[in-house]
Amino acid sequence: MNNLNLSFPLERSEVVSMLQHYKISPTRQRVEIAEFLFQRPQHLSAEKILDGVTDAGNRVSRATVYNTMGLFTSKGVVREVLIDRERVFYDTNTEVHQHLYNVDTGELTDVYDAEMNMVSGPELPVGLKIIDTDIVFKVTSK
């Protein structure tokens, strides 16, 4: 995402260019979904995306949202954040970062490495390197 130098919110023409950059055919429904997603940096479930797109007056099916989000995830347009088997969020911020999930409110927040006090990574076998991590800290009120 960053290599495109885009800022939120994205205009329709920017959405089309972004999809083409990721080699995704910009169908009407994909563009409508991406327009809703890229209004601002956010974490949304497929249901929230469906609600937002249809509330904006667009016709899109639940299956289309799930299929589109699968495509966007596989192409690197968004990050999929798995909280548990029943909660998946799609993150418009594709920079390297971790997450804080508040189980009381259902809110997912970005956490950057500079904000974390972590020990070094695991000892890896020779010839391997870490290419990505997905850490979600689940928190609740005391």
Structural domains of the chain, count: 2
* pLDDT tens, per residue, the chain with 142 residues: 445 667 899 999 999 999 999 999 999 999 999 999 999 999 999 999 999 999 999 999 999 999 999 999 999 999 999 998 889 999 999 888 889 999 999 999 998 876 666 656 778 889 988 777 788 888 998 8
Query: Rounded to an integer, what distance in angstroms lies between the CA atom of residue 14 and that of residue 54?
Result: 21
Residues 7 and 31 in one domain: yes
The model's pTM: 0.84
**Domain span holding position 110:** 98-139
Residues 70 and 8 in one domain: yes
Residues 52 and 110 in one domain: no
Where residue 20 sits, what CATH number does that domain have?
Answer: 1.10.10.10
Residues 82 and 107 in one domain: no
